[in-house]
Amino acid sequence: MLQSITYFDQLISKYWTDDNYFGYVYLIYDQKHKLSYVGQKWGKIEDSLDYFGSGSIISNIQNKRGTYFLKKIILGVCYSEKELTEQETECKHFFNVLNRKYGYNILEEDTGGDTFTNNPNKEDIRKKFIGRKSWSKGLTKETDERVKKISEKQKGKKLKESTRQQISNSVLIAYINDPTIVERGLETKRNNGTLKRSDEYKKWFSKTHKGENHPNYKIFSINEKEDIINKYCNEKLSLRHIGRIYNENYGIIKRILLENSITIRSIPIGGNNSQAKKIINLDTEEKFNSIIEAACKYNVLSNSIIQCCKGKREVCTKGFHWQYYNE
């Protein structure tokens, strides 16, 4: 006979005077949808405190949103498998959980395993799956023939103007509700490699996004243009340096200079650069007018030599020691 003791959330074994019971009957209450599920569990209560049922519906709920809204209530313990099944069935009728309005249970007497053969709604379930695609065996004969018939009927058909307008309106409403839907769709196609643009479209896109039509195009004031020309011609600042001042790409600074007929000076390399630092190889006592010259001769990275000269590393690549020097 079921010993009725109710304990919410968790139950510790010290509340039971006899530990020789076979299993227990529990009730899961879904606080979000106000529905219940009755089940049985073999073994000790303290060994399955985190167990919230294995029925198909209650399992789907746990997979979808976890057990946050589920409350577990221990209805009692039994001392044999037969008694456990009988008392579970009695509790199902008492709480009316077989009614879909009040509970998640499907079978009146459930011992696990096959929940379809003895299901009272077996025929209704069977009808739902007739003609459906079998993912393990491919299309069934009935479904395959049906798809072919529909395909033949739709070939060469043109949509009515009212249907076209209805589709257009639905797409427009979706875009108004979420303007990013088009870009997200294009992004998906780009990632899948299914987005293909014609050469004509590429030419048109390039033409309509050049110069002032570019979305990132910035219009500089006359004072800003004069300041850029002054920094480049008189202060001798580099394109990149001016670009950092205006938080722009150096290519945009170059465009402004070319528009004002300013000749872009070539970048001095090596010892011709006024900012180049002379270095010496302490092992061979060779002297170089710039780090670039030394890096090119020994086929090493210039950054490696710089770190060695600054003392960040003792030995450069290929085992040489380097140091800045002034004549």
Look at residue 134 and give its three-state secondary structure: strand
Specify if 123 maps to a domain.
Answer: no
User: 183 is in which domain, residue-wise?
Assistant: 161-192
Within its chain, how far is the Cα of 252 from the centroid?
35
- pLDDT category of residue 191 using cuts at 50, 70 and 90: low
237/232 Cα distance (integer angstroms): 5
Specify if 151 maps to a domain.
Answer: no
Specify if 122 maps to a domain.
Answer: no
Read off the pLDDT of residues 155-166 as tens digits, 9 standing for 90 and up.
877 778 888 888
* pLDDT > 90: percent of the chain: 4
Q: Does residue 288 surpass a pLDDT of 70?
A: yes
Strands 35-42 and 23-30: antiparallel
pLDDT: which is higher, 141 or 55: 55
Residue 255, C-beta contacts closer than 8 angstroms, at least 6 positions apart: none
Specify if 250 maps to a domain.
Answer: yes
- Which two structure tokens, joined as six digits, stand for 221? 């004031």
Q: What is the mean pLDDT of residues 108-129?
A: 64
Residue 16 belongs to domain with CATH number: 3.40.1440
Q: Does residue 210 surpass a pLDDT of 90?
A: no
- Which two structure tokens, joined as six digits, stand for 204? 């048109």
- pLDDT category of residue 200 using cuts at 50, 70 and 90: confident
Instruction: Specify the amino acid at residue 232.
Output: Y
pLDDT: which is higher, 197 or 230: 230
Q: Does residue 46 surpass a pLDDT of 50?
A: yes
Is residue 246 domain-shared with residue 277, that is, in the same domain? no
Boundary of a domain, candidates 265, 284, 300: 265
pTM over 0.75, yes/no? no
Is residue 177 domain-shared with residue 210, that is, in the same domain? no
Q: What is the mean pLDDT of residues 175-193?
A: 65
At residue 59, the pLDDT reads 85
